Amino acid sequence: MLFISLILKIYDRLNRKDRLLIPLHASSWILLFLISVQQGFSIWIQIAYKETVDGKTLSLSIHKEAQNLLNALIDEAINHRNKPDNNQKITFINTLNNIHDLVQNNTIEVQHINLIKDTYYIWKNHYQNQTLLASTNTEYALAQENTFDLLRFQIQKMLQEKEKLLVTHRNHLQHLQTLNNIVNTLVSTFILLGVLLNLYFLRQRVELPLRDLIKIGQLWQVGQLEAQLGYKSRDEIGRLTEILNEMASKINQRQQSLKARNQRLEYLISALSHDLRTPLLATRNTLDCTIKGVFGEVNSSLKEVLQEHQQANDDLLKFVDTLLDISRYEANDKTHNPLMCDRLNWETVFMKVIALIKATFQKDLDFTYKISSSLPVIYGNRLEIQRVLQNLLDNAARVSQPKQEISLNVVAIGDTQVKISVSDHGPGIRPLEKAKLFHRFIQGRNRYRGKSGLGLYLCRQIVEAHGGSIGVDSILGQGSTFWFTLPVAQIR
C-alpha cells in the first residue's frame, strides 16, 4: 500500500500543469532512486560473490587435503603389509590436522574429523595387536580390514560432500552473476527510458514553444503585431505567452491609433500647405514688383526691408513646397509610382547640381566628380535625383571651409545597382545622430540638415520611391560621406 501511495503521489506531481519543470524534477528523482538501488544491489552482489568465492576456495582446499589424506591412508596400508613405518603415520596425522585447521569453525565437520582420527587409531591398534599375537593373526586381520574400509569410507564421504559443495558454490556464483546482469539490464533500461522521456518532455514543453516564440517574435520585429502565440498551458511558458500576447495586442492597438492620428496630421499638413502656397506666391510676386519699382520708386532703406521680407517669404514657400512633396511621396504606396523616369546622364546631372550650388554659396569651394566606367543604365526622374544631390551638396557646402574639396562619385555595385556619394571634409557626425538624420523634423548638428529639418527626410522619400536606399558614413573630425543607391531596372 505504501508503494502504491508513493506511485500515485509521483503521478500527481508529473501531471501538474502549473509548473514547467515538475515532470523533469520528478523523473530525475526517480532516476536517482534507480541508480541508488542499482549501486546498493551491486554492493550486495559483490559481498555475496566474495563470500561464495571464499567458500569455494575453502571447499577446494579441504577436498585437496582429503584426497591427500586418502592417498596417505592407502600408502600406509601398503607399507604396513611390508614393513611398518612411523613416517606414514606422521604424514596421515599431519594431513588430518591440516583439514582440522581448515574446518575448525564448523562443528559438524570437526566431529567428522575426530571420528576419522578415532577410526584411524583403532585401525592402527589392530596392526599392533596383530604383530604381538601372531596366533590370532586371522582374527586381527579381519578386524583390521573392516576398520580400514570404514576409515576409507569416511574419507570418501568427506570427498563427496566437498564435491557437492563445490558444485553448489559454482551454481551459486552463476546465479549471482545472472541476477546481477538482469538487474543491471533492467535498471539501465529504465534509466534510458527516463532519459528519452525527459528529452521528449523538453522538446514538447520547452523547445517547441520557444521555437514558436522565436517565430512570432520575428513577425513582431517586422511589424506584424497581430500574430499571436498559440501555446496554451498553465505553466511558466504559458503565462509568459499570455503576457506577450497581451503586450503585442496593446502595442498593435497603440500603433494603429498612432497611424490613424499621423494620417490625419499628414492630411492636415498637406491641406494647410496647399492653402498656404497660393497667398505665399501672391506675396512673392507683390514683393518682387514693389522692389522693382512697379508701384513707384522705393528708397534704399525700404528696399532693404522688402528684400528681407522677400527672402523670408521665399524660405517659407520652399518649406511649404517641401511639405507638399513629402505629402505626395507619403501618399503613394509601393505599387503605384507617379515618377516619370528616363535614362540618367550622370555627367549632366553632376554639372547641373554643381552649378546651382556655386550660384548659391559665395565660398570658394573645390567641387570634383568621378563617374566609374562601364556603369549600368539607370532610369530615374532626373529632376528628383538632382534635387537629392542638390540637398546633399548644399549640406556639404554649408559645413565645408573655403578651398576644401567636395567630391561626387558614382560606382556600380555588382550588376543590380549603383551607388552615388557626396563626400566632404567637415566636422563629421556623431554615431548616435546618424540614425536620426533621415527622419522628419530632425536637425543634426554642424548644419548637416536643411533649415526645416525636412531636407534629408525628403531625400529619403525620393530615393525609396526609386527603389533605393540612403545612408551616411562619417568619422568625427574627418568628414562625412552621404550616399544613396539606385537599382538597375527596365525602362518604365
Domain locations in the chain as residue ranges: 2-202, 236-331, 342-487
pLDDT tens for each residue of 35-58: 888 888 889 988 988 988 888 888
10 vs 28 pLDDT, higher one:
28
Task: Assess if CATH 3.40.50.20 describes domain 342-487.
Answer: no
Q: Give the span between the Cα atoms of 52 and 171, in whole angstroms.
A: 10
Q: Is residue 342 a contact partner of residue 379, using CB atoms and an 8 Å limit?
A: yes
pLDDT in the model for residue 268: 65
Query: Does residue 181 have a pLDDT over 60?
Result: yes
Average confidence (pLDDT) over 461-475: 90
Comparing 204 with 427, the larger pLDDT belongs to: 427
The answer for residues whose C-beta is within 8 angstroms of residue 170's C-beta and 6 or more apart is: 56
Burial of 182 (0-12, 13-18, 19+ CB in 10 A): exposed
Residue 491 pLDDT more than 60? no
Evaluate if residue 199 carries a pLDDT over 70: yes
Percentage, residues of the chain above pLDDT 70: 78
Let me know if domain 236-331 sits in CATH 1.10.287: yes
Residue 126's pLDDT band (cuts 50, 70, 90): confident
Spatial separation of the C-alpha atoms in residues 250 and 243, rounded to whole Å:
11
- pLDDT band (50, 70, 90) for residue 92: confident
**Of all residues in the chain, what percent are helix, strand and coil, respectively (each to 5)?**
70, 10, 20
Q: Is pLDDT of 15 > 60? A: no
Q: Are 409 and 360 in contact (CB under 8 A)?
A: no
Instruction: Report CA torsion sign: 193, 199, 205, 208.
Output: negative
Whether pLDDT at 156 is above 50: yes
pLDDT digits (tens, 9 = 90+) for 371-398: 988 888 889 888 889 989 999 998 899 8
Among 390, 404, 270, residue whose Cα is nearest residue 330: 270
Contact (CB, 8 A) for 310 and 291: yes
- The residue that leads in pLDDT, 24 or 137, is 24
Three cell numbers, residue 159: 570427498
Q: Which helix (H) or strand (E) element contains residue 420?
A: strand 417-423
Is pLDDT of 347 > 80? yes
Q: Distance between CA atoms of 241 and 238, rounded to whole angstroms?
A: 5
The predicted structure's pLDDT at residue 422:
95
Cβ count near 398 (within 10 Å)? 17
Burial of 8 (C-beta count, 10 Å sphere; 0-12/13-18/19+): exposed
HEC profile of 249-289: HHHHHHHHHHHHHHHHHHHHHHHHHHHHHHHHHHHHHHHHH
Classify strands 366-371 and 405-413 as parallel, antiparallel or unpaired: parallel
Residue 1 has pLDDT above 70, yes or no: no
Q: Tell me the range of 24-38, 130-144, 181-195 where mean pLDDT is highest.
A: 181-195
Beta strands in 276-375 (DSSP E): 342-343, 366-371
What is the rounded CA–CA span in Å between residue 469 and residue 127?
128
Confidence label for 447 from pLDDT (cuts 50, 70 and 90): very low
Model confidence at 85, in pLDDT bands (50, 70, 90)? low
Query: What is the predicted pLDDT for the residue at 443?
Result: 53
Q: How confident is the model at residue 419 (pLDDT cuts 50, 70, 90)?
A: very high
The pLDDT of 299-324, averaged and rounded, is 74
Q: Which long-range contacts (CB under 8 A, 24 or more apart) does 199-204 make?
A: 201/23, 201/24, 201/27, 202/24
Residues 6+ apart with CB under 8 A from 228: 216, 245, 248, 249
Decide: 394 and 360 in contact? Cβ < 8 Å: yes
Distant-in-sequence, close-in-space partners of 400: CB < 8 Å, separation ≥ 6: 363, 365, 406, 424, 425, 426
